Amino acid sequence: MYRRLIAGLILATFVTACSAHKPWGKCAVGGAIIGAAALGAAGGAIANNVDPPFTAQDSDRGAGIGIGIATGAILGALIGHAICDEEEVPPPPPPPPAPAPAAKKKIVLRGVNFDFDKATLQPQGKPILEEAAKILKENPSINVEVRGFTDSVGSKDYNLRLSDRRAATVKNFLVSQGVPASRLTTKGFGMADPVASNDTADGRAQNRRVELVPNS
């Protein structure tokens, strides 16, 4: 009987090692009940049929039944758990974050500058705008905002109006090159966002500029 009990404990250890990663469920409970009933009865029978034969005592039967119930409950629970309790499925990983919308890339029309206090397009800027018009016509799904800028000389309100006129000048030229006016909007920013220092003549000339910013 002791050898059987030791064998049962070895089996219990083995099953435990194989099933430790699963949650305990109703199969383990059912197995414990069945195992306790079966081995409890077997323990009582063994106590009545020991070799050499002797008159079984109630204490012997009680001990056999108790050991059988305990061993059967343990083995039944472990075996039931190993056979049919479902493995714990980890929750799916969270979805990756949505990519941030691509930042709009502005196109600084370098070389498209204006004389001081004027919105007249300089001759050297026309080839640059012709190339910009060609690109826009090749990409009909792109609409752009034409943004005008000034240097820091003059009042804020005056420079806003001047930058509006510069943006309108560039828009009109692009339209003359075949770009639909419906794809172009204009806005003046005055002396905001300088690209160079306003402390030098060259810096102020660079700031008297126009940019194209895709908006769709």
The domains of the chain, with CATH numbers, are: 2-84 (no CATH), 107-214 (3.30.1330.60)
pLDDT at 184: 95
Q: Given CA atoms 43, 48, 49, 52 in this order, what sign does their dihedral have?
A: positive
Average pLDDT of each block of 10 consecutive residues along the chain (216 residues)? Answer: 50 49 57 56 55 51 56 56 61 70 61 84 88 91 93 94 94 95 95 94 91 83
pLDDT at 152: 94
Could you give the CA distance from residue 123 to residue 169 in angstroms, rounded to a whole number? 13
pTM: 0.52
